[in-house]
Structure 1
Amino acid sequence: MSMLAKDATKRPKDENFPVASLVLSPEHREAVLAFYAFVRLADDVADAPDLGASEKLARLEALEQALVMGDPKAPEAMLLHEADKKHRCGIAQAREMLRAFRQDVIKTRYNNWEDLTGYCRLSANPVGRFLLQLHGECASAYAPSDALCTALQILNHLQDCGKDLQNLGRIYIPLQWTMPLGGDKAFFDPAQAAMRRMILDAMLDRVDSLIDSSRILPERLQNKRLRAQSMATIALADRLSRRLRTSDPVLERVETNKADKARAFMVGLSGLIRKPESQDTHVTAEAVRRSGSSFRLGMQSLSYERRRAIHAVYAFCRNVDDIADSNVPPSEKIRFLREWRREIDRLRRAPETPIGRELARASSLFRLPLEECHALLDGMETDSAERVRLSSDHDLHLYGRRVAGSVGTLSVHVFGVPKARAFALDLGRTLQLVNILRDVDEDAARERVYIPLSRLAQLGLQDAPAAALVADPRFARICETLAEEARTGFAAADEALTSLDRAALKPAILMMENYRRVLDRLIARGWGMRQGRLRLTTADKLHLLTRAMRPA
């Protein structure tokens, strides 16, 4: 007799992602179906609308006891018990998931990202661990499997966010993320699409990082059939993430379609034919492609290994910068940046992310000074504050050293010109001055002002809300002074290049010329009547492209 009087609410074919696809061998499919049936039953108990919390908990406890004993009165429990006897896995993972279902009965909110992923460790990751143990896979596959399972769970939560609230009273959007923007009521308000989009995209950024960390999973699997299923699942996760970025799950049902599933099947099929190649280089190259940065032009002039290394450096910089600029609370930003600190510390042992593995390779080949990665993270922590102000020129210099000098130092090592370190540090400071001048209003919207308070005080300006500071006519006069310092910096860089290997430094020179043109446009426009962020013209871009195609 089943523990519920009604049929299961879902069957394997109803799930977003493959559960027991025909790709798996018949022997393994039988065990997977037994696991799914038991877990589906337990999930239905936790979600039953006609049961009180105490009754749900009692039934979940009875299910666990039936599973451990192999009670024939509970067929789903007995079948999984028998599968565990045969394959030596299933019971332990199901009991972990029962902890999640008990949590669903008594907990309806998750405070932050760590709280949410902690829930996923119980509600999703055991599924992957079960499949790995069932197929006799190595422990090296556990971490990428966990990343994939967590990503899938959060994608499902985003997809079902409206339904979860309406039917179950549960919200899996971190409370700390919604509170600054109006809380749950504002998040689910149909009229608040722009605010909701910011939170959804911030969550999808984290999900995409998890998916990237999972891409090594197929490489680490020995069973071809499981490898094929993992590849198809990753492809579907990618697709659902992209669909959630362009659609609003509060206003409509967002899901993958038959074409998405067909493409994913073909991806998985390739895993049956041959072992997949590493995706690490794809992840870093894709980060460069998405950025649209003019720095890409210079990268193309590098040899394969140097280009691969600079892609890794750029992807790291882009990732941590996106964290600092994301619409999540400062405490969450700091937590994510500290995860990167731990990854940098693992580079000489066993990095866990695609970017980390590519950085480790680059460090080995080109002796990257990894302390510069920590310097950059120091700068990103500055940017992650609720409110950014710099007290003095010393603070401005230190900030520029961290966020730009670090990147320059890493880059000249990749270019094979480590003796150009002083050039890289000075140019980095100059480029950062241009960034500050270009992004005055964009930074002010984030309550960031990088003009030192000491300089503002010289003209009688006291600290105030950022929007008020940058609107004051006196602020424009300080920008003019900073622009002259940037011009002087470019002149010094030109002089330094006369004694350096210009061919090797071509990517840096192209970046310098790009920023020099931005500065010229800013000076011509002035700072009194700013109208959004200045962008280079088509003629500017053609000029840079022409320079990129010429020898240095």
Structure 2
Amino acid sequence: MSIDAGQPSKRPRDENFPVASLVLSREHRDAVLAFYGFARTADDIADAPELGAAEKLTRLDALEQALVAGDTDIPEAARLHAVETRHEAGLSQARDLLRAFRQDVVKARYHDWAELIDYCRLSANPVGRFLLAVHGERGSAHGPADALCTALQILNHLQDCRKDREHLGRIYIPIRWMLGAGSEKAFFEPSHTGMRRDVFDAMLDRVDALIDQAQSLPEHLQSRRLRAQSIATIALARRLSGRLRQADPVLERIQVSKADIGMAFLQGVRGTVRAPSSSDRHVTAAVVRRSGSSFRLGMQSLGPERRRAIHAVYAFCRAVDDIADGAAPASEKRAFLREWRRELDRLHRAPETPIGRELARASTLFKLPVEECHALLDGMETDSADRVRLAGDYELGLYGRRVAGSVGALSIRIFGVPSAHDFALNLGRTLQLVNILRDVDEDAACERVYIPLSRLAQLGLQDAPAVTLVADPRFARVCETLAGEARAGFADADAALARLDRRALKPAILMMENYRRVLDRLQARGWGVRQGRLRLSAADRLHLITRAMRPA
């Protein structure tokens, strides 16, 4: 029986990422090319437009039988069978790939993120496992290699989403994520760029987390050549993720450039001449750097170990906040937050993410109360709901304690001032009040209202769509009251600082002054005239930089 699907649709050089780059030895490159040739043959069968589903499955079965037997009538199967004989690698990984290709024949949609990840375990991860096995690498490399392969697969799915839908009838963007547009058809409507952008960015947040997990891969590799290829591949994955954030793959083809490939290759080569170092602290530092947060000024005033620890806390906060604010369905957000709870439970055993490992290190050095991390997750679960309303002042206080007080309680231990616990909780609540006032319209667009319904009811305002509530003139009066409470909170913080070590608390003081200026600007603008999110001026930022350079 013929299993030929025609000429291969792609060659190794047509792929986004290195397949059998010249940094690999000739022996290993030949093995990788044999694996690639077999996989391309199977992929072309699964994608062949002229074949029906039954015929595709029959040909894939025949291809598997040829692989197991080493049938010389099927050269792609015979070559990979020879690799299995020589390296004890190729057969099991190729059979997993065949399961994925059979799935492509019969399954064209994925309900949620978990289903997509399960597919990637078959369609992508075996490629990395094969490379590791051929090079005789250790099992410790499996986790980061799987993360990298899954990230690469999803990047390709995003990159090819229009082509896959039009030519293959397949979509790898989870159905539930697309329903934010109302339907699959609406999601792919060219004019719906804003809504589609939110979904792509939420998916890329998950991809970037996978790339972060993959960042430690070179540290686990004994082969310098494979290490070079892994470094180059990680660099290209980051580059493609960045390009996908800047443009819409439904409207245009997005890919890495030759310059990107050249730079990644040079990074890989550099990786062969120096021993790999721990990448985890670089991951958390990069999160802080990308954030542009004004809190960075305070972090820079800390010594190396304290700064590294606060980076870990900030990166954790950023990761879970991005989940809560992203465009994933509420149930998916809760699932992602549960993953973080499991990671927190592993902190003192074997955390699986770079942020988790850095958080574990900080927890050990500075005796961080991990229950505060769980409290933050409780607050993020509130934010993850499709609709957020707080009934009364108790709920407002509890929410502020969870999302802001927890961060303060962790931070003051890193600063070395555990006696400032009450100060941290009170300041956290004050800063959160400012956040609420600053983000009224932004939150309303997400159907979130954090000013308690009980306060609105006192002025005759009943619950309604968020944009209706915040547009009512009476809403401004409630904002004024909340602003007065924030002012009182800053005054209490000033009084408390008179009894505390101001030098050690300098990062908190800088944060406090930043938010105090935000409140000043909000009050100067007025609560009834809001024109987008308020941002500090260059003069404000210069003032904060000057404060940061002075002793506390």
CA distance in 2 between counterparts of 1:34 and 1:522 reads 64
Give 1:260's aligned residue.
260
Q: Shift of residue 415 of structure 1?
A: 0.2
| Pairing of 1:119-198 with structure 2 (within 5 A) | 119-198=119-198
CA distance in 2 between counterparts of 1:13 and 1:415 reads 51
Give 1:94's aligned residue.
94
CA distance in 1 between counterparts of 2:443 and 2:78 reads 60
CA distance in 1 between counterparts of 2:383 and 2:348 reads 28
Given that 1:2 and 1:76 are in contact with CA atoms closer than 8 Å, whether structure 2 keeps it comes out as no
Given that 1:391 and 1:454 are in contact with CA atoms closer than 8 Å, whether structure 2 keeps it comes out as yes
Indicate yes or no: 2:75 matched with 1:75.
Answer: yes
CA distance in 2 between counterparts of 1:335 and 1:517 reads 37
User: Which amino acid in the other structure matches residue 99 of structure 1?
Assistant: R
Give 1:236's aligned residue.
236
| Pairing of 1:362-441 with structure 2 (within 5 A) | 362-441=362-441
CA distance in 2 between counterparts of 1:248 and 1:454 reads 43
Q: Shift of residue 400 of structure 1?
A: 0.3
Give 1:505's aligned residue.
505
- Secondary structure (helix, strand or coil) at the match of 1:71 reads coil
User: Which amino acid in the other structure matches residue 85 of structure 2?
Assistant: K
CA distance in 1 between counterparts of 2:138 and 2:346 reads 21
Give 1:33's aligned residue.
33
Q: Shift of residue 368 of structure 1?
A: 0.8
- Secondary structure (helix, strand or coil) at the match of 1:146 reads helix
- Secondary structure (helix, strand or coil) at the match of 1:18 reads coil
Give 1:43's aligned residue.
43
CA distance in 1 between counterparts of 2:2 and 2:77 reads 9
Q: Shift of residue 287 of structure 1?
A: 1.3
CA distance in 2 between counterparts of 1:519 and 1:248 reads 36
Give 1:459's aligned residue.
459
Q: Shift of residue 243 of structure 1?
A: 1.3
Deviations 1:354-398 (A, max 9, x none): 111111111111111111111000000000000000111111110
Give 2:320's aligned residue.
320
User: Which one is further off, 358-367 or 408-417?
Assistant: 358-367
- Secondary structure (helix, strand or coil) at the match of 1:186 reads helix
Given that 1:295 and 1:510 are in contact with CA atoms closer than 8 Å, whether structure 2 keeps it comes out as yes
| Pairing of 1:448-487 with structure 2 (within 5 A) | 448-487=448-487
Given that 1:161 and 1:171 are in contact with CA atoms closer than 8 Å, whether structure 2 keeps it comes out as yes
Given that 1:2 and 1:75 are in contact with CA atoms closer than 8 Å, whether structure 2 keeps it comes out as no
Q: Shift of residue 345 of structure 1?
A: 1.2
Q: Shift of residue 524 of structure 1?
A: 2.3
User: Which amino acid in the other structure matches residue 484 of structure 2?
Assistant: E
Given that 2:96 and 2:126 are in contact with CA atoms closer than 8 Å, whether structure 1 keeps it comes out as yes
User: Which amino acid in the other structure matches residue 253 of structure 1?
Assistant: R
CA distance in 2 between counterparts of 1:57 and 1:3 reads 10
CA distance in 2 between counterparts of 1:413 and 1:143 reads 32
Given that 2:388 and 2:448 are in contact with CA atoms closer than 8 Å, whether structure 1 keeps it comes out as yes
Q: Shift of residue 525 of structure 1?
A: 2.1
Q: Shift of residue 407 of structure 1?
A: 0.2
Give 1:347's aligned residue.
347
CA distance in 1 between counterparts of 2:251 and 2:543 reads 45
Given that 2:438 and 2:533 are in contact with CA atoms closer than 8 Å, whether structure 1 keeps it comes out as yes
CA distance in 2 between counterparts of 1:516 and 1:189 reads 44
Given that 1:111 and 1:175 are in contact with CA atoms closer than 8 Å, whether structure 2 keeps it comes out as yes
User: Which amino acid in the other structure matches residue 114 of structure 1?
Assistant: A
- Secondary structure (helix, strand or coil) at the match of 1:318 reads helix
- Secondary structure (helix, strand or coil) at the match of 2:335 reads helix
User: Which amino acid in the other structure matches residue 129 of structure 1?
Assistant: R
User: Which amino acid in the other structure matches residue 355 of structure 2?
Assistant: I
| Pairing of 1:204-215 with structure 2 (within 5 A) | 204-215=204-215
**Structure 2 length as normaliser, TM-score?**
0.98
CA distance in 1 between counterparts of 2:314 and 2:235 reads 25
Give 1:330's aligned residue.
330
Q: Shift of residue 269 of structure 1?
A: 0.5
User: Which one is further off, 349-358 or 105-114?
Assistant: 349-358
CA distance in 2 between counterparts of 1:372 and 1:175 reads 34
Q: Shift of residue 22 of structure 1?
A: 1.5
Give 1:64's aligned residue.
64
Give 2:534's aligned residue.
534
User: Which amino acid in the other structure matches residue 480 of structure 1?
Assistant: E
Q: Shift of residue 351 of structure 1?
A: 1.3
CA distance in 2 between counterparts of 1:225 and 1:271 reads 9
User: Which one is further off, 374-383 or 330-339?
Assistant: 330-339
Given that 1:2 and 1:73 are in contact with CA atoms closer than 8 Å, whether structure 2 keeps it comes out as no
Q: Shift of residue 515 of structure 1?
A: 0.9
User: Which amino acid in the other structure matches residue 269 of structure 1?
Assistant: V
Query: Alignment identity in percent?
Result: 74
User: Which amino acid in the other structure matches residue 239 of structure 1?
Assistant: R
Q: Shift of residue 508 of structure 1?
A: 0.3
Q: Shift of residue 182 of structure 1?
A: 2.8
CA distance in 2 between counterparts of 1:5 and 1:408 reads 61
Q: Shift of residue 5 of structure 1?
A: 5.5
Q: Shift of residue 530 of structure 1?
A: 1.5
CA distance in 1 between counterparts of 2:429 and 2:327 reads 27
Distance 1:291 1:5, change over 3 A: closer
User: Which amino acid in the other structure matches residue 491 of structure 1?
Assistant: A
Indicate yes or no: 2:203 matched with 1:203.
Answer: yes
User: Which amino acid in the other structure matches residue 300 of structure 1?
Assistant: Q
User: Which amino acid in the other structure matches residue 203 of structure 1?
Assistant: M
User: Which amino acid in the other structure matches residue 304 of structure 1?
Assistant: P
Deviations 1:163-193 (A, max 9, x none): 1111111011111111121322122222222
How many matched pairs? 552
CA distance in 1 between counterparts of 2:286 and 2:351 reads 19
Given that 2:2 and 2:59 are in contact with CA atoms closer than 8 Å, whether structure 1 keeps it comes out as no
- Secondary structure (helix, strand or coil) at the match of 1:157 reads helix
CA distance in 1 between counterparts of 2:168 and 2:375 reads 46
CA distance in 1 between counterparts of 2:305 and 2:388 reads 38
Q: Shift of residue 307 of structure 1?
A: 0.7
CA distance in 1 between counterparts of 2:98 and 2:251 reads 32
**Structure 1 length as normaliser, TM-score?**
0.98
